[in-house]
Structure 1
């Protein structure tokens, strides 16, 4: 924390970066607002776990599909405007979700929330890059990432806590009101810098352009074709192919765990919603530690080995959870709850330990000419995995029960471990 504060003090625009980082937290908070209340939705609306998973699938599908159009709109209208509009849309969608009288209405609200959320990363990360010099951009991105982790960790505590006392509708209303209040603060407090205008265009104060512009004066269609062409500018080697599969599986695994952690603890192990969300928070808090700690290890030791070990530990911890109901009856609720806390802490460390290793490995394979395109393809692959995970394991939970589906995510972990091992055999990056 001391190092983070030092980084914050050293950046060029601490006020603006702080606001952008908090907005990152709001965006990530909204991205994970449904999982803490999944058991309540299943009971109150009479839906299956497959339908609950589809709520997240629709959200992430919209989130992914609209990112590129959102980036084009931000180039035209201005990044701050689009960022604010997106956060307001997400908050408004939660307000609509809180009034949903049917599953279909909730599904529509999630689709709208995903479209709103799609605007964030094309605008937020670009604003950080525009605000900071090369010498301070790394520090600013560290603060930005920490803001996102805070939002993720806060969701089960805030949403789960309010839902346990006042119900899931009140929890969504509280989240929506809090988000709208932040949007108002951001709109007033964020000071748009003076961006250098592109050749042949008139710059707007927050990064938009007043007149139609683009690459070599082309319109939006030509600009879109240009971006797609740049996205495919890398060589698909065996190592890149394996990394693509690993990226897909890590995202599928992560979103499946997020979506059904609370449901598993409530319906599979018999814990209350408040206790379940407390354990969910333990997993997410451990993930913040893993993001920093494992990233350092990846710079000192063999990354493929670290990834394989992290995925292997994930599979063991998840597989071991099938015995928890029996353990509950043998030793009592509180000892089992303590075991759950340790297990979910290990799960957070191991699951999130795979991500910095994977990102570091992608960097190994990225050349100076192809780094942007390679990371872009990996981001798209990650989005597909994020959308598929909740739907796939939601269907399993509906057929076999969430008490079986959640531990079955261990099968994905084993595939990830095998992928890291295979990556070691196909050779190092050229």
Structure 2
């Protein structure tokens, strides 16, 4: 494994791996995308089966919701810590360990006979999910040629969305095909074995450099990056923007049903349309990020502003049920276009030699946003403030624009 020596944290930038053949870059991007899809798949190992668990094990909505809170709490705390491990030992062994945790989570689901078994699923999945952003971006930033990084970030976001889309269909499909929901978990465990096999067979493409500190370096240097204001501006951006995404994922279907009388199928289809439109936006956003790498913060700001405006329009209800659903779907597209530029923005803010630590800390804001948002906006929903929930989510997304511009001001070069 190659090493590099570092005693300080130079300013970040857009430097990446030297130019490499397209096939080599494509292989790295594909492998990391496969791993990222498996991570997002783990987010939904439990939620699609909540109604079944409530009926079979006699559990409440509160108990089900707590499983999700446990998952994201472990993932968020673990993500910040995992960045240090990635910088010390490399991304590859941490990645392999994460896939093993997902296998254990799926097997825990297969053997679960009550709440304790489901809690094991949440714990193992949370531990496995924690290292993914520092792992993924360490590999991409080190091994993908700079001119192709925008496309790499685009594919990374796309595969994450595909993992979300696949999980419910996969678990319910195999459960129905073999007569019991447990078989969905068994099939998921087999799927993770296959993913691990592919990654191990192509392990040479996943090697990352480890930064070795000089003998006179102090332990405090590991935390020097936390003194950089730009890191916390990045954290704030992820926290705020993810709070809005959590509202869409958790409450949009219920809002459409309550306010516009939409059917369950139509409301759920709107959420699917949001995710699909977001994926299309990420594809286009890859081109945008590649062509405007030095203005990534402005691209993000414009996209989030457009998304906030569209969501606020949906909150008014002026367009009726069908119009509101269409506007929500387009919101996903606007936010999706900004995704690759968002990752480029974080790269510019990352000091050399601290990729794992910075990405781990910054992306833990994503987990925190997912954990906190349902607690806050759930109160809105319980009080019947459905339109206000969407409007508040739009305002939070607009606040993230300020955070993105704050990052840009601190990474601007003469």
Same fold (TM over 0.5): yes
1:273-310 Cα distance to aligned partner (Å, 9 max, x none): x7765543322111112234467679698764543231
Whether 1:228 and 2:226 are equivalent positions in the alignment is no
Whether 1:115 and 2:117 are equivalent positions in the alignment is no
Which residue is 1:3 aligned to?
Answer: none
Query: Equivalent residues in 2 for 1:92-103 (5 A)?
Result: 92-103=104-115
Whether 1:348 and 2:329 are equivalent positions in the alignment is no
1:410 corresponds to which of 391, 408, 413: 391
Root-mean-square deviation over aligned CA pairs: 4.6
2:68 corresponds to which of 28, 43, 56: 56
1:217 corresponds to which of 215, 229, 240: 215
Distance 1:279 1:76 in 2: 43
Distance 2:236 2:134 in 1: 24
Unaligned runs of 5+ residues in structure 2 are: 1-18
Distance 2:155 2:195 in 1: 18
1:46-81 Cα distance to aligned partner (Å, 9 max, x none): 544444333222212211222344344445655333
Q: CA deviation at 1:357?
A: 6.8
Residue 149 of structure 1 aligns to a residue whose secondary structure is helix
Q: CA deviation at 1:339?
A: 6.4
Q: CA deviation at 1:39?
A: 4.4
Residue 57 of structure 1 aligns to a residue whose secondary structure is helix
Which residue is 1:176 aligned to?
Answer: 189
Distance 2:350 2:267 in 1: 44
Structure 1 residues 121, 356: closer, same or farther in 2, change over 3 A? closer
Query: Equivalent residues in 2 for 1:358-369 (5 A)?
Result: 366=349
1:301-333 Cα distance to aligned partner (Å, 9 max, x none): 876454323112123325639986xxxxxxxxx
Whether the 8 Å CA contact 1:247–1:378 is kept in 2: the answer is yes
Q: CA deviation at 1:114?
A: 0.8
Which residue is 1:380 aligned to?
Answer: 364
Residue 151 of structure 1 aligns to a residue whose secondary structure is helix
Whether 1:257 and 2:248 are equivalent positions in the alignment is yes
Whether the 8 Å CA contact 1:38–1:260 is kept in 2: the answer is no
Structure 1 residues 143, 309: closer, same or farther in 2, change over 3 A? closer
1:190-247 Cα distance to aligned partner (Å, 9 max, x none): 1426x9xxxxxxxxxx4588xxx9411379xx55x323212322369xxx86x76553
Q: CA deviation at 1:259?
A: 3.8
Which residue is 1:327 aligned to?
Answer: none
Distance 1:258 1:346 in 2: 15
Structure 1 residues 76, 246: closer, same or farther in 2, change over 3 A? closer
Whether the 8 Å CA contact 1:156–1:281 is kept in 2: the answer is no
Distance 2:351 2:212 in 1: 23
TM-score, structure 1 as length reference: 0.69
Distance 1:407 1:295 in 2: 33
Higher RCO (CA-CA < 8 Å; seq separation 6+): 2
TM-score, structure 2 as length reference: 0.71
1:322-381 Cα distance to aligned partner (Å, 9 max, x none): 986xxxxxxxxxxxxx668635523422454565676677789x5978996876654333
Distance 1:84 1:423 in 2: 33
User: Number of residue pairs matched?
Assistant: 384
Query: Equivalent residues in 2 for 1:40-189 (5 A)?
Result: 40-74=52-86, 78-159=90-171, 161-162=173-174, 168-187=181-200, 189=201
